[in-house]
Structure 1
Amino acid sequence: MKDLLDIRKDIDKIDEQIVKLYEERMKLTSDVAEYKINTGKQVFDKEREESKLATLQKKAESDFTRHGIRELFEQIMAMSRKKQYKLLTEHGIMPPQEFEPIHTLDYSNARIVFQGLEGAYSQLAMEQFFGENCNNFHVESWKDAMEAIKNGEADYAVLPIENSSAGIVSENYDLLVEYDNYIVGEQIIRIDHALLGLEDADERDIRTVYSHKQSLMQCSEFLDSHADWEKFSVSNNAVAAKKVKEDGEISHAAIASAKNAQIYGLKVLRNSIQNNKNNSTRFIVVTGKKVYTDQADRISICFEINHESGALYHALSHFIYNGLNMTNIQSRPLQNKNWEYRFFVDFEGRFEDHAVQNALRGLREETIAFRILGTY
């Protein structure tokens, strides 16, 4: 039997040869990039790569090595593409600039729209971002808010996108795809839910609770301790508070911010009933213009991929190769395509950075329905 150290020495020699051959191959990649620069040919040629992989697999002697050969050369080809994207950027060959840089957002005379009624958390987020005296109005649904921008009735909309306890607001991810509106800012606010009832009510009187479905989830532990209460979802927490006041039923309560007790003449029956005492919601600010400010250092994108093994890995590898930090990744099902998904990614970076341009170029070429949703 051969000694293990001798085997490892033989492996080391082969590895050295692989490294030299890999470096030679990458030098040829530069020639390929130069050709594509001169001809305008796209870097990613899926048909060519599939043909090449099939040819290489036929040279393998077993099923195990055939599988390994494919995986190995998929990686080599992916690295080759990444180098070509990098060389294109270094030669100043950039995709058309979709977004206009501006110094700062001008909202001195802007019209701001939020969903819900006075007292909604969206209103609080809006006031923290734009100021309490901003020119604003409210609409019934998040879709109505996006429509208001589309129709020119509003310049900005404030929408919740993610809660630290209940997760994403899926409808608003879908609306970002449905509308040509773009993220230009975000505002994170602490969410402190209170149980609100009529002035002469007591917690022991309550039998029915109204709130937004996200808030019901965020207060699930408290509600589970009152298993006999009926829970009903409404479009907004402030809507729930207003309904309790208008119904005038002593057995009805709303989950909303304590501010709603003052606005709608209710009483706080219990404060801070959310599961997570550090409960927070991230709101996005969207507009109909493709702009970004000097301070923008986060980018949001979405894309689809082929429904095949390794597709998501190869897409995300562009962030790894370019040293970009992803801060969020979510998925939403595609309509009319069961079990296929659209992916949403937030990552740190600035449009002007070469690493960002390299990653965006690769994702644009190698994914489906790629979109930049904004930088902020």
Structure 2
Amino acid sequence: MIDLQQSRDEIDKVDKQIVDLFEYRMQLVKDVAEYKIQTGKKVFDKEREQEKLRVLKGMASNDYNSHGIQELFTQIISMSRKLQYGLISEGSFRHPFTELQSLPVDQNTKVVCFGVRGSYTEQAMEEYFGSNISRSYAPSFKKVMQAIKEGEADYGVLPIENTSTGGISDIYDLLVEFDNSIIGEHVVKIQHALLGLHGAEINDIRTIYSHPQGLMQCSKYIERHPLMKPVECTSTADSAKKVLEDKDMTQGAIASKQAAAYYGLQILEEAINHEDSNSTRFIIISRDKKYRKDANKISICFELPHESGTLYNMLSHFIYNNLNMTKIESRPLEGKVFEYRFFVDFEGNLNEAGVKNALFGIQEEAMSLKILGNYKSI
């Protein structure tokens, strides 16, 4: 019978040899990095890595070990690249953002938000900037982006994600289309109410208006009232405005209590969203590439070749540099079949060495990289 302890002792010896060889290999990798620094040669050499993996796989005695060798050395080569990126990125990674102590805001600051008076976006704007600003409203997400781009406003406020219904895909597409940057973030707890004209009762309502997100967030409530027909509006506040203007007792709106107060509507029922923790994350947009000194969150997007393991390689840059990734979202690439652009949020500041290392590595390996902003949630 095999002596289990003896086998374990032998494995320990082999593991020690592997560790010693790994450390020796990484020292050699540093030497390679020094050469690349001196010559300007790029770290990532896809063809050489593929050929090296092919040769190493061929050294294995069977198919099972061949797959294991490929997986093992894929990781080793990836770690080697990251070590080289860390050495090369010191002083070489550049970004277009300028650091600020705080955002310049006064009574002349022009802020544009999506929607109309009484919207949740307006609430986010007031909570973030205060009321002593010059405000305006835009009827679409794109109009907000255009107003910022063309200098009609200093900042814009847009919803980007809800805890119940997820990310708002149009916003991600616009962040790529426009060269505006995320400079801030604010989270608003969403508490939808059913609004109607004064004198109306819940049983009177036959048509219920709201933004598509509002309808989704209250879908279970609507299901419990089958006589209510949901109809989409451009925003929750617009739905309240429509009910007021139409003066139809059978119409209701899903909107905020602030909208009810602003448009003089009656609250027929409060808290009708099915998630009690329902919250929306709003982003603050600027045309300037700036970030606060205390910024602690970064948003980026990148495109990858449609190949096995490419996304894993990108995400490993966050793991290797001890960065906490808080969100990942994908959007299809226009004109390409089942190829995607990935949006990632992670904790960090553009001044930090680990952030620079990660972004340098992603920049070297991805087809494209765009830093969408470095900001702080307020």
Asked whether the two chains share a fold, i.e. TM above 0.5, the reply is: yes
1:34 aligns to 2:15 (yes or no): no
SS at 2:226 equivalent? coil
Identify the residue that residue 91 of structure 2 maps to in structure 1.
93
**2:103 corresponds to 1:105:** yes
Matched residue, 1:374: 373
Aligned partner of residue 11 in structure 2, secondary structure: helix
Structure 1 distance, partners of 2:305, 2:62, is: 28
SS at match of 2:330: strand
CA distance in 1, matches of 2:306, 2:44: 18
Give structure 1 stretches of 5+ with no counterpart: none
Residues 1:328 and 2:327 aligned together: yes
Q: What is the DSSP-based 3-state SS (H/G/I as helix, E as strand, rest coil) of the residue aligned with 2:336? A: coil
SS of alignment partner, residue 137 of structure 2 = strand
Match of 1:229 in 2: 228
Distance in 2 separating the partners of 1:274 and 1:75 = 46
SS in 2 for 1:283: strand
Superposed CA offset, 1:56-85 (max 9, x none): 122222221221111111101111011111
1:370 and 1:306 map into 2 onto residues whose CA distance is 13
Alignment of 1:148-159 (within 5 A): 148-159=147-158
Aligned-partner residue type, residue 107 of structure 1: V
- CA distance in 2: counterparts of 1:76 and 1:361, whole angstroms: 19
Equivalent residue for 1:212?
211
- Tell me, in whole angstroms, the C-alpha distance in 1 between the residues paired with 2:9 and 2:304: 42
Distance 1:69 1:283 in 2: 46
1:23 matched to which residue of 2?
23
Identify if the C-alpha distance between structure 1 residues 304 and 97 changes in structure 2 by more than 3 Å, giving closer, same or farther: closer
Answer with 15-24 or 234-243: which moved more.
Answer: 15-24
The DSSP-based 3-state class of the residue aligned with 1:342 is strand
How high is the TM-score relative to the length of structure 2? Answer: 0.96
Structure 1 residue 96: Cα displacement: 2.1
The answer to whether the aligner puts 1:243 opposite 2:242 as a matched pair is yes
Q: Which amino acid aligns with 1:83?
A: L
Q: Number of aligned pairs?
A: 374
Deviation at 1:197, TM superposition (A): 0.8
Q: TM-score, normalised by structure 1?
A: 0.96
- 1:68 corresponds in structure 2 to 68
Give, in angstroms, the shift of residue 113 of structure 1: 0.7
Q: Match of 1:198, as an amino acid?
A: L
1:195 and 2:203 equivalent?
no
Aligned to 2:269: 270
Amino acid at match of 1:190: K
Q: CA deviation at 1:33?
A: 0.6
The separation in 2 between residues aligned to 1:72 and 1:308, in whole angstroms, is 18
Q: CA deviation at 1:2?
A: 2.5
Q: Distance in 1 between matches of 2:94 and 2:18?
A: 38
Q: How does 1:271-310 map to 2 (within 5 A)?
A: 271-310=270-309
Measure, in 1, the Cα distance between the counterparts of 2:72 and 2:91: 30
For 2:316, give the aligned amino acid.
Answer: S
Pairing 1:167–2:166 present? yes
Provide the residue aligned with 1:48 in structure 2: 48
SS at match of 1:70: helix
Distance 1:126 1:133 in 2: 11
Measure the CA separation in 2 of the matches of 1:98 and 1:198: 52
Q: Deviations over 1:261-308 (max 9, x none)?
A: 222222111111111223211100011111011111111111122222
Which stretch has the larger CA shift, 7-16 or 233-242?
Answer: 7-16
TM-superposed deviation, 1:3? 2.1
Structure 2 unaligned residues grouped into runs of 5+? none
- The structural deviation recorded for 1:227 is 2.0
Alpha-carbon distance in 2 for matches of 1:98, 1:80 = 28
Letter in 2 for 1:337: K
Equivalent position of 1:5 in the other structure: 5
1:354 aligns with 2:353: yes
SS across alignment from 2:2 = coil
1:257 is displaced (CA, Å) by 0.6
Q: How far 1:10 moved relative to its partner? A: 2.3
Match of 2:128 in 1: 129
Letter of the 1:179 counterpart: F
Alpha-carbon distance in structure 1 between the residues aligned to 2:349 and 2:138: 33
Give the superposition deviation at 1:42: 1.3
In 2, distance between residues paired with 1:268 and 1:338? 47
Deviation of 1:313 after TM superposition, in Å, equals 1.5
Q: Name the structure 1 match of 2:57.
A: 57
Secondary structure of 1:161's counterpart equals strand
Deviation at 1:368, TM superposition (A): 2.0
1:312 maps to amino acid:
L
